[in-house]
Amino acid sequence: MANNEKLIKIVRDNIRSYADFPKPGIIFRDIFSVLKVPEAFKILQELLVQRVKLKAPDAVIGLESRGFLLGPIIALQLGLPFVPIRKKGKLPGKIKQLSYTIEYGEDTFEIQTDGLQKGQNVVLVDDLLATGGSLRAACTLVNQLGAKVVECLVVMELKDLNGQENIPVPVHSIVQF
């Protein structure tokens, strides 16, 4: 456990913060700064893969857009399918969609209806948990396809916003602010 704490500290130390972005009063936590440091990126990858492996899912789902950076890496390393959840109008074929409220307004997520099978267990992956709107919407979409979210996995969690309270499944965050 102590070793994981050291690894998590390396990831945390490489997350840059930007005041007043995208609007005044917001502190933006930037995952891209971790990806610029190969050692930190590799450690983050190992921590994420280790966590998903514990949950033994049938598939990994990544939320647009930063979940697309992490989800496929995890899925490939574990030999699992990767399924994207995208913003409205970005996926071909038959889709299921859901509109939801986010910190700055409203948005719509979509998933291809043939992306999951009924009864599959999945892990949702994203970079950040703030208020929980996007993760809650993703959980709802997965449930509507008859699959089950066993955990939401995020790199960063903004604890003061209490996003976990809005998500109907367990949430695990690597770093908390």
Catalytic residue list: 66, 103
Q: In what order do the strands lie in the sheet with 148-157?
A: 95-102, 105-112, 82-87, 59-63, 121-129, 148-157, 171-176
